[in-house]
Amino acid sequence: MIEHLGFYRARAVVQDAIHGIIPINEAEYYLIQTPFFRRLHDIKQLGLSNLVFPSATHSRFEHSLGVMHLASRVAQKVVEVSRRSSKVCSNLFHECSDRVYRAFVQVARFAGLLHDLGHLPFSHMLEDAVSDLVFNPAERGVSGEGLLRGLGEARARISEVGFGSKIHEAYTIYFTGKLIEIVEESGYENLGVLLGLALGSLNPSLVRVSEELLEDLGVRVEACRLINNIISSGIVDVDRLDYLVRDAKYTGVIYGYIDIDRVLESLEVKVEGDSVVVKVPPKGFQPVEDVFDARFKMYKTVYYHHKFVGVQIALGNAFTQLLMEWDDLQPKPHSEVLENAGDLLNPVKLSNLIAGGLIYFDDVELLSMFKLMAFKGSRRGRRWAKSILHERHLLPVSLIKRVDEVIAEISRAAGGHVNLIVQELENVANDRDVFEGVVERSIARKARELGLDPSEVKVEKTPRKVVRGIGGAPAGIAEASLYIRMLAEVASTPIILVHAYSDDEVIHVSLYKERGRLRRAFVDELVREVVARLRA
């Protein structure tokens, strides 16, 4: 084994299902024993997707180790180039020495290890619901003075640091801040400093890194920007490389296969203007094109699977209901440490509780709360808790399974170019009045025929796009690769998912039994609406 790994002495190895042996050093070994990393063992990478793909039970912990490992490999490549190129070195470092190089690699490793630290239970599957509860509780029907006060405090704390595209980034900032407090007495030199630098590299717009600190370590701001690009630049970042391959393996889907070694080997480190960039030369286009292809197919097949999204809707409703019924559940969960349910989403209070080992707020804890609600909750609470606890007939009914089939039906009925059909379909889905008219003429009508009150039936649309453009591609490849340009155009086709459900269990079971007819009625009406517009 190598003597040093990053900034610290090598300590152990982890046998990983994707990357094989992952070496870790003494400080990393210490970190993964802390409560903040222990909880990641029990947070599934794909949430409750195991209800759809039974083997998808892998965790955020193993993904974090994988990203750390890949970030280390790319950082080492940067160091190798820096040893040969004074221009690269001077752009990234104050001095070109082994100590500075080790610090750079260590920051990249820590950034990979920390990047998902703030994920709440069930990862991205619950994230939209958490964001809504914190910032738009009224839209989710939340009431109760104590709960709203608690959510308001959580909103204030999150707003203090802000977040990028996902709310877990704010929790990562708070969790890492608390982790840094814990490690100050660990005895590992510069551990807290390097963790802070890694956090700043992950969130350059939210976390300011001291220039004095950077100079002491011999690292420039440009090196932090490069680490950010290594971790999460868009298409060929190490976060995406790991989760595409890992998710494909554990869901049993073959489309996510990527030759990671070849992708990393193809990368070149160059100076362009005032920046150091990671580029893909023409000889490396094919493996990077495979990444685009894997991303497109994995999103269509797994992440935007109609049942996957149905489970996500159910999870959000169950969690919202749990918070609203919190005070009435007996025994009330964590009554000795929480003033109200909103405290669960307060990053400051949650950080302190996790640090003390009092609450982990992981999948296991949340499932235990759902089990409590399934037995002792209200009628509505029991309905949604049971939908999460494997009673699949209580999950929302998908009205569109594959939007491609709907587009094909429209094409057969009206002809015309696919792009025109797609645009008109988007217009119908995005126009609230028009879409509600389609629902009224199909689902509401079917509900009346079944003797149900249409007001008890909810229809939720979830428009998605795999990509909105090719701006995230590595410099040069987006312009040079015809395959990527064509795939990006196909991948920008909307994936419109629509689900129907009722908060009343009896009514929902009636909908479930008639799901085939409901689906056919909705699709027929949607096709008629779009065809009429195309012919107008």
Residue 375 inside a domain? The answer is no
Which pLDDT tens digit goes with each residue over 136-164? Answer: 999 999 988 999 999 999 999 999 998 87
Domain that holds residue 430: 397-535
Q: Last residue of a domain, which of 258, 282, 303?
A: 303
Residue 323 inside a domain? The answer is no
Which pLDDT tens digit goes with each residue over 434-487? Answer: 999 999 999 999 999 999 999 999 999 988 877 655 544 444 565 567 777 777
pLDDT at 402 over 70: yes
Q: Is 167 helix (H, G, I), strand (E, B) or coil?
A: coil
Q: Do strands 495-501 and 458-464 pair parallel, antiparallel, or not at all (unpaired)?
A: antiparallel
Q: Where are the alpha helices (DSSP H) in 206-334?
A: 211-217, 221-232, 238-251, 260-266, 285-298, 306-325
Helix axes 221-232, 98-114, angle to 10 degrees: 40
What b/e readout covers 372-388, taking b as 16+ CB neighbours within 10 angstroms? Answer: bbbeebeebbbbbbbbb
Q: Last residue of a domain, which of 303, 328, 351?
A: 303
**Cα–Cα distances in angstroms (integers) from residue 425 to residues 290, 310, 496, in the given order:** 29, 21, 9
Do 97 and 207 lie in one domain? The reply is yes
Instruction: State which amino acid sits at residue 81.
Output: V
CA–CA dist 400, 60 (Å, integer): 30
Q: Which residue has the higher pLDDT, 473 or 266?
A: 266
Q: Which residue has the higher pLDDT, 480 or 254?
A: 254
User: What CATH number does the domain containing 274 carry?
Assistant: 1.10.3210.10
Counting other chains too, the contacts that 348-356 makes at CB distance below 8 Å and 24 or more residues apart are 348/157, 348/174, 350/171, 350/174, 351/174, 351/175, 351/177, 351/178, 352/178, 354/35, 354/36, 354/39, 354/175, 354/178, 355/35, 355/36, 355/178, 355/179, 355/181, 355/182, 356/35
pLDDT value, residue 4: 76
Lowest mean pLDDT: which of 352-366, 463-477, 492-506?
A: 463-477
* Continuous segment of H or E residues that includes residue 273: none
* Continuous segment of H or E residues that includes residue 337: none
Token code pair at residue 39: 């909880």
pLDDT at 384 over 70: yes
Do 297 and 417 lie in one domain? The reply is no
Do 298 and 408 lie in one domain? The reply is no
pLDDT value, residue 481: 72
Do 426 and 294 lie in one domain? The reply is no
What b/e readout covers 222-244, taking b as 16+ CB neighbours within 10 angstroms? Answer: bbbebbbbbbbbebbbbbbbbbb
Residue 341 inside a domain? The answer is no
**Cα–Cα distances in angstroms (integers) from residue 294 to residues 289, 466, 487, in the given order:** 9, 11, 11
Residue 290 inside a domain? The answer is yes
Q: How many CB atoms lie within 10 A of CB 91?
A: 18
CA–CA dist 430, 459 (Å, integer): 14
- The secondary structure of residue 301, as a DSSP letter, is I
The model's pTM: 0.94
The percentage of the chain sitting over the pLDDT mark of 70, rounded to a whole number, equals 96
CA–CA dist 28, 69 (Å, integer): 12
- The secondary structure of residue 93, as a DSSP letter, is B
- Cβ proximity of 320 and 303 under 8 Å: no
> What's the domain count of the chain?
2
Residue 265 inside a domain? The answer is yes
CA–CA dist 448, 466 (Å, integer): 36
Residue 433 inside a domain? The answer is yes
Average pLDDT over the chain reads 91
Q: Which residue has the higher pLDDT, 206 or 315?
A: 315
Which pLDDT tens digit goes with each residue over 66-92? Answer: 999 999 999 999 999 999 999 999 999
Mean pLDDT calculated for residue range 51-74: 97
φ, ψ of residue 313 in degrees (nearest 5): -65, -45
CA–CA dist 396, 387 (Å, integer): 9
The percentage of the chain sitting over the pLDDT mark of 90, rounded to a whole number, equals 74
CA–CA dist 74, 4 (Å, integer): 17
CA–CA dist 16, 389 (Å, integer): 30
Residue 368 inside a domain? The answer is no
- Cβ proximity of 102 and 108 under 8 Å: no
Do 401 and 298 lie in one domain? The reply is no
pLDDT at 204 over 80: yes
pLDDT at 284 over 80: no
pLDDT at 1 over 50: no
How many angstroms separate the first and last alpha carbons of the chain? Answer: 72
Q: Last residue of a domain, which of 303, 335, 358?
A: 303
Do 424 and 287 lie in one domain? The reply is no
Token code pair at residue 192: 């807290």
Do 81 and 226 lie in one domain? The reply is yes
Instruction: State which amino acid sits at residue 39.
Output: R
CA 60 to chain CA mean position, Å: 10
- Cβ proximity of 396 and 499 under 8 Å: yes
Q: Is 16 helix (H, G, I), strand (E, B) or coil?
A: strand
Nearest to 384 by CA among 398, 394, 399: 394
Q: pLDDT-based confidence at 2, cuts 50/70/90?
A: low
Which pLDDT tens digit goes with each residue over 100-127? Answer: 999 999 999 999 999 999 999 999 999 9
pLDDT at 242 over 60: yes
pLDDT at 383 over 90: yes
pLDDT at 405 over 80: yes
Lowest mean pLDDT: which of 103-107, 330-334, 342-346, 378-382?
A: 330-334
Do 279 and 164 lie in one domain? The reply is yes
pLDDT value, residue 489: 75
CA–CA dist 339, 517 (Å, integer): 47
Residue 238 inside a domain? The answer is yes
pLDDT value, residue 475: 46
Do 298 and 415 lie in one domain? The reply is no
Which pLDDT tens digit goes with each residue over 9-45? Answer: 999 999 999 999 999 999 999 999 999 999 999 999 9
Do 292 and 418 lie in one domain? The reply is no
Mean pLDDT calculated for residue range 323-349: 93
pLDDT value, residue 373: 97
Nearest to 436 by CA among 519, 502, 525: 525
Do 180 and 294 lie in one domain? The reply is yes
